[in-house]
Amino acid sequence: MKSRQTYDKVFEKIWGASGGWAVVMCPCGIVYSIKCCLRAESPRDFSDILLSWKHIPNIVIYVFARGLATHTNLRYPEALTFTPHEGRLADPTDDNIKMAKEESLRSPCHG
């Protein structure tokens, strides 16, 4: 790019053109679903994949987990896909939030 003006013009045209890929795979590396995302790291795109399945996977790892859980639960409220605690690891009580900030919140199954 020879000038900032040219760069800005090209950047404006490609911004938001693709958000990458959303992939659902098992731990052994077999890919079960793949989707070209419309927006970068969009909970909507990843939710599309999950809701297209007959059964939601037991474990979902996603960079913006709270956004995915909120979007999916609002979009499909009769199923509440992410429960309990709306996709959080624990109930959002004042005590749990305090322990999380202090990095002392532990999973009930891990003591």
What is residue 38's three-state secondary structure? coil
Adjacent-strand bridge partners of 23: 34
The band of 107, judged by pLDDT with boundaries at 50, 70 and 90, is low
pTM over 0.95: no
Angle between helices 43-52 and 65-75 in degrees, nearest 10: 60
| Predicted confidence (pLDDT) per residue in 40-49, tens digit | 778 888 898 8
- Once rounded to an integer, what is the mean pLDDT over residues 72-80? 86
- pLDDT at position 67 over 80: yes
3-state secondary structure of 34: strand
Question: Which residue in 109, 64, 103, 106 sits closest to 82, CA to CA?
Answer: 64
Q: Kindly tell me if the per-residue pLDDT of 69 is higher than 70.
A: yes
